[in-house]
Amino acid sequence: MTTGSVQQRRPRRIVNLQPVPVSRLLAVYALLVLGLAGLALRLAWLQIATGDSLQARARAIQTQSIAPIGRRRTIVDRSGRLVALDEQRFRLWAHPRYFNFPGDPPNQVRKPEEVAVRLSPVLALPVAQLRQDLLRRHSGIKLASDLDPETAHRVKKLGISGLDLEAYPHRIYPQGSLFANVVGFLNLERVPQAGLEQSRDRDLRRHEDTLRMRRGADGTPLPEGLTAGSLYGDDLRLQLTLDARLQQVAQQALTRQIKKWNAKRGAALVMDVRNGEMLALASAPTYDPNRFWAFKPGLFREWSVQDLYEPGSTFKPINLAIALQEKAIRPGDKVTDTGSLSIGGWPIFNHDRKANGVIDFATVLQVSSNVGMVRAMSHVKRDRFWHWLRSLGIDARPDTDLPGAVAGQLKDRGAFIGQPIEPAVAAFGQGFSLTPLKLIQLHAMLANGGRLVSPHITRGLRSGDALASAPGATGIQLLDPAVTRTVMGWMESVVERGQLPVKTPGYRIGGKTGTAQKAENGVYIPGALITSFVGHLPMDDPRYVVLVVVDEPKGGNVFGSTVAAPVAKEIIDALLVLESIPPSRPRTRSGPV
């Protein structure tokens, strides 16, 4: 049988075509027109009436906003050693209703007990404690804070759904208490509370803007969503002038001496006389800024720049410079020290009540003669004496970046001129008050040839690992360099011919001790003393001044030479090594000292 015959036997299907009613065509046409009209109206409504709101909603979905977290800039010492920095820490939040382990079905919810067992060894917390915390509520439980990055990474590796790690910056101070007195700290809310953290708060805040980033449908960041500079990284660091090594030597020496003499407190300062940079500013007792809550708030302030005291004999070289500058005395003059005298009915004595006879000014400093100083300064007109104390800024706040620095106290002109006892006691450093910071500034003026420099502890902001070099000589010229050289020679004789424990073989060092009565509210406290020592080195080319002040040491034989000078000796020895200061040149005697 052929294919053709088979096809012939199949019956044909015949479709009878019938005309479609016109009414039905019109109905379909009307429906299509109405649908298109509805779509056009809806499109117009979306574009015109609600277009802006819909576009805003779309932008919100497509854009991710990353708010700044308040990171702060790093602080380093003069050599780049870390002093303060932000470290990333984490808070761990738990949401028990979403607990799920890797490999579990998506809808399975693990019990808090099971999660506690896995978290316990990572967080080093008891299982029972974690279980109790996880049973408090169904979501939003803070399990831990202050987690370090390593611990946070271990939590992430567990892969437990329902655990969230929240990153935040945490301020740490690697040097501990070493710089606490000048750097300060942030409290638990990251609010600066003291020191440079507070006074330089704006400088220490990193440049952080809210970052808005466009993302595609799959979450991929889109370049067109980023504006120029939006990913700028702020790597600036605040560089100090302080040296961590010298600061540590000063801190340890000061702490030992305060403990030995059962003193109330002490301070040690080292300044570069050429430009006013502070190489060390140590205080004791101090505190650990990493654990500030464990210390008394009174320790958070740096008293050497905020508290006043009467400098006593350490001010005598400055007064002699004033007398020389006024030409009221000459370098070769002598005075008669009778051991005591009366001024306006007030008795004045030497500290040992001894008369030293006819002595030159070098000897006045060597024996620390109060009577000799009164007789020397009596040649200076009272008005000029007061004018010089005012010009030196005794009652003015020092021009410094040290936080909290205050002005000293000086009697008004009328009282100083009208009462003979005022210039008399001022001659040996009493009757007015200043801070240790102000005193070291004035002694730096003697060492650098008469220029009043501004004491400071910062060199400014630097990018990355870059460090600033020391600036050149600065300051306002107030004294004749010849005057200061004469006084410095006299101070060198104090160390050479005295019994001060600051002599160093091969180096010329000058200095002056001070043992002053302590006053409070204008009244001297019986038995309370402030001992001090100020030293200059090297005398052939003065570059550094060291000041040590110890407040209220107790016991017998309490003097600046026994309490403060030993601390200065340790600092000077370290300074010679750290700054690679060569041995002094032989002294040439070109004039009286």
Q: Are 442 and 392 in contact (CB under 8 A)?
A: yes
Token pair 């309370």 is found at 528
Residue in 521, 500, 501, 524 with CA at minimum distance from that of residue 430: 524
User: Cα 468 to chain center, whole Å?
Assistant: 17
How many Å apart are CA 65 and CA 225, to the nearest integer? 11
Strand 74-76, strand 82-94: pairing = antiparallel
Q: Give counts: helices (H), strands (E), the chain.
A: 20, 19
Strand partners, 458: 240
Strands (E), 322-390: 334-337, 340-343, 346-349, 357-360
Q: Which structure tokens are listed for 531?
A: 């001992």
DSSP 512-558: EEEEEEEEETTEEEEEEEEEEEEEEE-TTS--EEEEEEEES--SSS-
According to DSSP, residue 249 is labeled H
Count of other CB atoms within 10 angstroms of residue 577:
11
Catalytic residue among 177, 199, 313, 368: 313
Per-residue DSSP letter, 215: B
Residues 6+ apart with CB under 8 A from 399: 454
Identify each DSSP E strand in 448-522 by its residue range: 451-452, 458-463, 476-477, 510-520
Burial class (CB in 10 A: 0-12, 13-18, 19+), 488: buried
Rounded to whole angstroms, the Cα distance separating 527 from 546 reads 26
Q: Decide: residue 161, CB within 10 A, 0-12 exposed, 13-18 middle, 19+ buried.
A: middle
Segment holding 566, helix H or strand E:
helix 565-578
E strands in 225-284: 236-240, 265-272, 278-284
Rounded Cα distance, 39 and 34, in Å: 9
Task: From 535, 531, 529, select the one nearest 561 (Cα to Cα).
Answer: 531
8 Å CB contact between 265 and 309: no
> Is 177 noted as a catalytic residue in this protein?
no
Residues labelled catalytic: 313
